[in-house]
């Protein structure tokens, strides 16, 4: 399918039209951002690794019955996806306390969370993605109640599938962020699942294998992403 004009450029991916209105091309760039886009760096090969990583995860989720926007890989850094209307909230599930939860509530980093915590954030860099709840979503019309329930249920289903997938490869899925969209009146998982949007720790050493290496200036960012990909069997 032919790639046409650019429709949108996000912090790490760009979206292009195709001749079919129902599909768009997602192009994964090497740009890596933190702190709501205040810090941006190019990390060589990141676009390609995240594109292939995301394709692998989306395929595993589809096998588990989760509806996703992913159609197929087009090239090293491009994928074909459904052209959805995105719901402007981020869904976060946390199995272990880290990041903003620790800053907000003063709980211990690394504490196991049982049951896992679910949070909604408004997707808005200028406002620093504030936490919102189901009442805000209803009042401001960001999604219907039915869509909210569906996003929550799907986000927890993803947890069952991916907690096991990473555990089997010796890693802890600490937390992750998902975004959903609507395509032909149905809710689908959109955006990407990659080490840019989740926290993964080595189960033995608790070494960070995700974007926290970039946020915290730990170095070895791409090496860590490649290690995760290799451990779960992503063909790179």
**Which is closer to ligand CDP, CB of 66 or CB of 102?**
102
Structure tokens at 133: 């709840």
Q: Which 114-143 residues touch ligand CDP, going by CB under 6 A?
A: 129
Least distance from ligand CDP to the Cβ atom of residue 4, Å: 28
Interface with ligand CDP (CB under 6 A), residue total 13
Binding mask 90-119 for ligand CDP (x = CB under 6 A): x-x------xxx------------------
Which of 198, 222, 224, 228 binds ligand CDP (CB under 6 A)? It is: 198
Question: Using CA atoms in the order 162, 163, 168, 169, what is the torsion angle rounded to 10 degrees?
Answer: 70
State the DSSP code for 175: E
Which range touches ligand CDP (CB under 6 A), out of 105-113, 133-141, 157-165, 193-201? 193-201
**Which is closer to ligand CDP, CB of 84 or CB of 92?**
92
**Which is closer to ligand CDP, CB of 23 or CB of 220?**
220
Which residues share a beta bridge with 82?
A: 23
> Using an 8 Å Cβ cutoff, are 30 and 47 in contact?
yes
Q: How far is CA 59 from CA 45, 53, 79, 139, 165, in A?
A: 21, 10, 12, 35, 13
**Which is closer to ligand CDP, CB of 74 or CB of 95?**
95
Q: Which helix (DSSP H) or strand (DSSP E) does residue 88 occupy?
A: strand 85-96
Q: How far is CA 199 from CA 21, 84, 129, 193, in A?
A: 34, 26, 18, 11
List of residues contacting ligand CDP (CB under 6 A): 90, 92, 99-101, 129, 175-177, 197-199, 211
């Amino acid at each position: 399918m032919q790639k046409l004009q650019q429709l949108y450029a996000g912090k790490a991916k760009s979206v292009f039209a195709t001749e079919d209105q129902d599909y768009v091309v997602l192009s994964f760039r090497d740009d890596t951002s933190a702190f709501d886009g205040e810090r941006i760096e190019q990390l060589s090969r990141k676009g390609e690794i995240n594109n292939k990583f995301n394709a692998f995860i989306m395929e595993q989720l589809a096998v588990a019955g989760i509806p996703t926007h992913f159609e197929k890989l087009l090239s090293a850094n491009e994928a074909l996806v459904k052209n959805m209307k995105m719901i402007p909230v981020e869904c976060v599930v946390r199995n272990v306390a880290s990041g903003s939860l620790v800053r907000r509530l003063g709980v211990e980093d690394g504490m196991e969370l049982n049951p896992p915590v679910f949070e909604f954030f408004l997707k808005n860099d200028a406002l620093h993605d504030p936490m919102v709840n189901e009442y805000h979503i209803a009042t401001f019309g960001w999604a219907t109640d039915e869509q909210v329930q569906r996003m929550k249920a799907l986000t927890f289903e993803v947890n069952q599938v991916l907690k096991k997938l990473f555990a089997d490869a010796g890693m802890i899925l600490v937390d992750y962020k998902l975004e959903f969209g609507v395509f032909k009146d149905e809710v689908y998982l959109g955006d990407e699942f990659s080490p840019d949007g989740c926290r993964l720790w080595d189960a033995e050493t608790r070494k960070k294998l995700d974007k926290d290496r970039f946020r915290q200036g730990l170095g070895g960012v791409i090496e860590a992403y490649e290690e995760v990909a290799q451990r779960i069997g992503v063909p790179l």
